Amino acid sequence: MDNQAVGKRVWEAVGGQKNVNSLVHCATRLRFKLKDESIADTQKLKKDPDVIQVVQSGGQYQVVIGSNVADVYQAIVDEQGLKDQSDTQDHSKNPLNRLIDIISSIFTPFLGAMAAAGILKGFLTLAAVLGWLATDSGAYQVLYAAADGVFLFLPIMLAFTSAKKFKTNQYLSVAIAMALVYPAITEIAGAGSGLDFFGLPVILSQSGYTSSVIPIILAVWVQSKLEPLVKKIVPQFLQMIFVPMLILLVMVPLTFLALGPIGTIIGNGLGGLFNSIYGFSPLVAGFLMGSLWQVFVMFGMHWGFVPIIFLNMQQYGFDVLAPMLLAAVLAQGGAALAVAFRTKDAKLRSLGISSMITSLFGITEPTVYGVTLPLKKPFIVACLSAGVGGAMIGFAGVKAFSGGLISLLSIPTFISTNETIESNVTLAIIAAALSFALAFVGTFIVGFDEAEQDEKLEENQQTTAGETLGNARHNLKSPLSGKVLPLTEVPDKVFSSGAMGKGIAIDPVKGELIAPADGEITTVFPTGHAIGLTTKDGAEILMHIGMDTVELEGKGFEVFVKQGDQARAGDLLVRFDIEAIKAAGYSVITPIVVTNTDHFADVLELNQEEIIASEDFLAIVK
């Protein structure tokens, strides 16, 4: 897969810079926040051979790529320069969508580190139970620090990502979190000693705020509201020192006295709600979570359960929700494997086997969107099979003792040094294996509509091939740096009406015009204000520097080429004096048009507002 090419196709399909508020990614998806989702070409994305599926949920426009999503994401970031341009404001009015968006934005950035730490912690526990490593050995202590540190100091990780989400100072947020997990405070909490702040009681749970979730998120949100107010009060020349100091002076005591206890109460309430359902019937809770988990994932609702898992870990030292999900993950893999055995289509067989493997390691999106969900029956069978396994796990009271991505590798996290392996892990393995087997056998027996699937595959292949052959394209490089304008804003009717051809205009910030592509210089006006170039693909490009600048009779223009010259993309063609042209009363807005537009299928803008010379700016579709 060409990650850069995939990234370009996805970026263009979602509407480009003008339509994208923000972009993040999780294990398999590009998660866009779009200004208008109707602008995105969803059908085009679904037909893209490198896109598994498109999901519109939770206020996000999600493009499912698969296990190499991080590379595609990085290609988009590098190509579009998004590192410092993300706008994570959620414009959705739906409170549930906004909540899901906040949780996913906060947890997604360190999901990989959290999953790795959880798995490592599980394997260390397994090594200790089996006697491979002594818990007082140096190797165990060092590795356990690597595994447990993420969870012990979770508020610090959450502070950093929350600050990015709420658009406030990340380092101040981290400083607040560090105060919450400060060893002396944690020691006082563990000892049950009283603590006050100028006579006001500080309420601390036994573990303090280590491994806590909601208190720091709430604190950073309040910080994001307080910080702009403090900046308005403090003179600008004093802000570098006094704004951070005032934020810490207010936020740290406020968090210990009010926000922390409020967050703890909210967290305990959420955890208590799930645990009440679990307490009423672990079997029913397990069946519901196992059978519905992939549905929650499809709609992005699974993020709402992530804080509950961590709250359980903090409050009880274990969690009963996460183990139920193992059946949901493996059942999809079993169904995909059955599809691979039954199908006559080589491509679907290959996808079934590869997605089955990814599901064993906790990545189910390729399985769901690429195999089971399009075929419908395998997805339903897998969900029901997961419900059976989830019910068994719930009924048996299987517990997880550290968090992370649920997969086969997370099984060691179900081990506690206080319990035998047989009492916890064996039951989870049996239930998960049963879910996998039931999904495989059930899908193999129930089957799916092979003819319908073959027809869809053939249609998609024909459509993709037709688009590839019919829409071959190449991009032109911008000859100028500056602000991009539509031709309709050019103060000249000949250009603004499109009579000269399709293209765009640039209000330049630097007086250098360069070649937009390799080709021959076909026109050089004696005054230097306009250059014509014909590319090797036959596109005739006219670049007209300013409006009515012909009347300057060459003053302020220095030409470096002549008619008949061969130019390479990036070669300097004309240098012009922007200030002198403006001082003479002329506009420097420069239209760049393809004068033989009718020879091509289309000439497309790339939806840019600002551009740098040599960046792609027009796409010519053959």
Give me the CATH number covering residue 607. Answer: 2.70.70.10
User: Which has more confidence, 44 or 451?
Assistant: 44
User: Tokens standing for 279?
Assistant: 């307490």
Alpha carbon 315 to its chain's center: 30
Same domain for 382 and 487? no
Out of 15, 48, 80, pick the residue that ends a domain.
80
Half-sphere exposure of 11 (CA within 13 A, CB side): 26
Q: What average pLDDT does this structure show over 445-455?
A: 65
* Mean pLDDT for the stretch of residues 173-188: 90
Evaluate if residue 84 carries a pLDDT over 50. no
Average pLDDT over residues 278-296: 85
Measured in residues, the chain has a length of 622
Phi/psi region, residue 377 (left: phi>0; alpha: psi -120 to 50; beta: rest), is alpha
Sign of the CA dihedral running 161, 159, 402, 313:
negative
User: Are 300 and 411 members of one domain?
Assistant: yes
pLDDT tens digits for 208-226? 888 788 889 999 999 999 9
> Is 106 found in the same domain as 39?
no
| Residue 24's pLDDT band (cuts 50, 70, 90) | confident
| Average pLDDT value for the chain | 82
Q: The domain that contains 65 carries what CATH number?
A: 3.30.1360.60
What are φ and ψ of residue 604, in 5° steps? Answer: -115, 140
Residue type, 179: A
pLDDT at 222: 94
Task: Tell whether 507 is covered by a domain.
Answer: yes
Question: Is the domain of 317 the same as that of 268?
Answer: no
CB distance 19 to 58 below 8 Å: no
Beta strands in 515-554 (DSSP E): 519-524, 530-535, 540-544
Indicate the Cα dihedral angle 230, 231, 237, 242, nearest 10°. Answer: 30
pLDDT in tens, 323-370: 888 898 899 999 999 998 888 877 778 878 887 887 888 777 777 877
Higher pLDDT pick, 193 / 225? 225
Of 275, 298, 333, the domain-final residue? 275
Reported confidence tier of residue 57, pLDDT bands at 50, 70, 90? low
Q: For residues 185 and 508, what is the distance between their CA atoms, to the nearest angstrom?
A: 58
> Is 383 designated active site?
no
Residue 265 lies in a domain: yes
Question: Does 324 map to a domain?
Answer: yes
Where is pLDDT greater, at 226 or 407? Answer: 226
What pLDDT shows up at residue 235?
Answer: 87
Task: Please give the helix or strand (H or E) that residue 517 lies within, else none.
Answer: none
- Between 460 and 449, the higher pLDDT residue: 449
| pLDDT higher than 60, residue 450 | no
Query: Looking at residue 65, what is its pLDDT?
Result: 81
**Does 95 score more than 90 pLDDT?**
no
Confidence of residue 126 (pLDDT cuts 50, 70, 90): confident
Work out how many domains the chain is built from and give that number. Answer: 4
Residue 467 lies in a domain: no
Residue 508 has pLDDT above 50, yes or no: yes
Residue 295 shares a structural domain with residue 156: no
* More reliable by pLDDT, 560 or 2: 560
Q: Tell me if 89 is assigned to some domain.
A: no
Same domain membership, residue 269 and residue 285: no
Q: How far apart are alpha carbons 535 and 515 in whole angstroms?
A: 10
| Adjacent-strand bridge partners of 22 | 33
pLDDT above 70 (res 541): yes
Contact (Cβ atoms closer than 8 angstroms) between residue 372 and residue 378 = yes
Confidence of residue 615 (pLDDT cuts 50, 70, 90): confident
Q: What are phi and psi of 99, to 5 degrees?
A: -65, -45
Q: Tell which of 275, 295, 328 closes a domain.
A: 275
Structural contact between residues 60 and 102, judged by C-beta atoms closer than 8 angstroms:
no
Top-confidence residue, 492 or 282: 282
Once rounded to an integer, what is the mean pLDDT over residues 40-53?
85
The whole-angstrom separation of Cα 470 and Cα 160 is: 47
530-542: buried (b, 16+ CB within 10 Å) or exposed (e) per residue? bbbbbbeeebbbb
Domain that holds residue 573: 473-621
Q: Which of 10, 26, 432, 581 is catalytic?
A: 26
Is residue 85 one of the residues assigned to a domain? no
Task: For 298-313, write each residue's pLDDT tens digit.
Answer: 665 666 677 777 777 7
Residue 439 confidence (pLDDT) above 90? yes
Query: Which residue stretches of 368-482 are H helix?
Result: 373-375, 377-396, 421-446, 450-470
C-alpha to C-alpha distance for 165 and 221, rounded to whole angstroms: 9
pLDDT at 521: 92
DSSP H helical ranges for 108-182: 111-129, 138-152, 154-166, 170-180
552 shares its domain with 502: yes
Residue 500 lies in a domain: yes
Q: Is 453 in the same domain as 477? A: no
88, part of any domain = no
pLDDT of residue 362: 78
Percent of the chain whose pLDDT exceeds 70: 87
Q: 485 and 364 in one domain?
A: no
451 and 484 share a domain? no
Residue 43: the pLDDT is 87
Looking at the chain, the number of H-run helices and the number of E-run strands are: 23, 20
Q: How confident is the model at residue 592 (pLDDT cuts 50, 70, 90)?
A: very high
Residue 533 has pLDDT above 90, yes or no: yes
DSSP 8-state assignment for residue 319: B
Q: How many angstroms separate the Cα of 329 from the Cα of each of 116, 151, 270, 595?
A: 18, 23, 24, 56
| Cα distances (angstroms) measured from residue 345 to each of 51, 360, 445 | 19, 23, 18
Best CA proximity match to 62, nearest among 3, 105, 99, 126 = 105
pLDDT of 225: 92
Would you put residue 614 in left (φ > 0), alpha (ψ -120 to 50) or beta?
left
Q: Which residues of 87-99 are buried (b: 16+ CB within 10 A; e: fewer)?
A: ebebeeeeeebee
Q: Which of 56-70, 138-152, 400-414 has the lowest mean pLDDT?
A: 56-70
Phi-psi region of 260 (alpha: psi -120 to 50; beta: other; left: phi over 0): alpha
Higher pLDDT, 367 or 453: 367
pLDDT band at 100 (very low <50, low <70, confident <90, very high): low
Asked whether residue 242 falls in the same domain as residue 286, the answer is: no
Interior/surface letters 326-346, b for 16+ CB within 10 angstroms, e for the rest? bbbbbbbbbbbbbbbebbebe
Q: Does position 257 have pLDDT exceeding 80, yes or no?
A: yes
Are 266 and 146 part of one and the same domain?
A: yes
Beta-carbon-side half-sphere exposure of residue 237 (alpha carbons within 13 Å): 0
pLDDT at position 455, please?
47
Judged against a pLDDT cut of 80, whether residue 202 lies above it is answered with yes
